[in-house]
Each structure stands twice: as C-alpha cells, then as structure tokens.
Amino acid sequence: MFKAGKILIDRQQLAARIAELGEEISRDYAGKQLTTVGILRGAVLFLADLLRELNISVTVDFMAVSSYGAATKSSGVVRILKDLDDPITGRHVLVVEDIVDTGLTIDYLRRILSDRSPASLKVCTLLNKQSRRVIDVDVEYIGFDIEDRFVVGYGLDFQQLYRNLPHIAYIDGEV
C-alpha cells in the first residue's frame, strides 16, 4: 500500500470509533426508519462502514455539492451537483459527511434540507476541524476532532487522489 504523508488515524482506530457511532445512532433512532444522506464523494467510505454498524431500518441516498470557489465561499453559497433521488418529507434524515471545516457546506445543506420538511435532521461527520469554523453549525455526531491540518485518505482526496487509503493521513505539502 502506498502512503501519503503520516498516519493520523489508522484503520483500527477508524473501525473502533465507527462501531461506537453506529451503536449510538442505532440507539437514538431505535424504532424509527432512518434516511442516510451521503455527501459525495468524500463520505462514501465512511458511509459504507457506518451503514454496516447500524442495526435499524435504514435507507441510503446521496447528494453532491461543490462550493462556487473562493469569492463566494464566505457567503456560504454552495452548488448542488447531484440532488437526492427521493423526497425526505416526513423522514428522519441523517447527513453523513467526511469533514466539517468552515461549516459553510453543512450550514447550507441543513438549510436546504430542512426546507423540505423532514421529521428530523441531524449531521454525522467523521472528522471535525473546530478551529476552522466561520459559522456556528450543529453537528450531532462527530467521529474525531482534529487540528487544522489538511488530511487525505479514507474517502478524502487531494486532487482526487488518495481516497483509497484505508487510514487518515496528513500531507503538509509533501505529497
């Protein structure tokens, strides 16, 4: 297996924490049907592993978003590249994200999805960079809090590469 930078969170740590998250989410949604919404493309590996830890009734849908770029980033304007296939009205929705950084993407997603009148709406992120937040946004489930470093692996990319690493690594400019 090729390596990008240094390992920050290894595959055993990922598996253990995701099992805990799965247990917590299964407990919180016991007796309900959950609609998970994976945010493409980064959350794919996390969602796939999290799903296997859920012992409740669950469906899966996906959204792809992209920010408009630096100029509009501060306004939190996000472009929907792929919308959900199914309506979420009356559903218990859990957005599954790879990482929450400034919070702008999740803030936007929370706003547009809550406009569709779900029964409930929560967010689960594998990674959280609290120190980078520019907007206060609710994130109900957090896998790991990490410091302000650019990370790759386990779904997260650098120029579309490294998503296949089984661990989270940081690359401080030396890819």
DSSP state of 131: G
- Is 101 marked active-site? yes
Beta-sheet pairing, 33-40 with 92-100: parallel
Sign of CA dihedral 158, 149, 65, 15: positive
Say whether residue 8 binds ligand 5GP (CB under 6 A).
Answer: no
Q: How far is CA 47 from CA 74, 78, 145, in A?
A: 28, 22, 18
Q: Does 101 bind ligand 5GP (CB under 6 A)?
A: yes
Give the shortest CB-109-to-ligand 5GP separation in angstroms.
9
Among residues 18, 45, 47, 156, which is the contact residue for ligand 5GP, using CB under 6 A?
156
> Rule CB under 6 A: is residue 104 a binding residue for ligand 5GP?
yes
Q: Which of 101, 136, 145, 148 is catalytic?
A: 101
**Span interacting with ligand 5GP, options 9-17, 19-27, 47-55, 149-157, rule CB under 6 A:** 149-157
Residue (88 or 152) nearer to ligand 5GP, CB: 152
Neighbours of 15 (CB within 10 A): 13
C-alpha triplet 136, 113, 32: angle, nearest 5°: 105
Helix axes 11-28, 44-51, angle to 10 degrees: 60
Candidates 4, 152, 165, 169: give the one binding ligand 5GP (CB under 6 A).
152
Q: Residues in the site for ligand 5GP, rule: CB under 6 A?
A: 42, 97-106, 150-152, 156-157
Residues acting as catalytic residues: 101
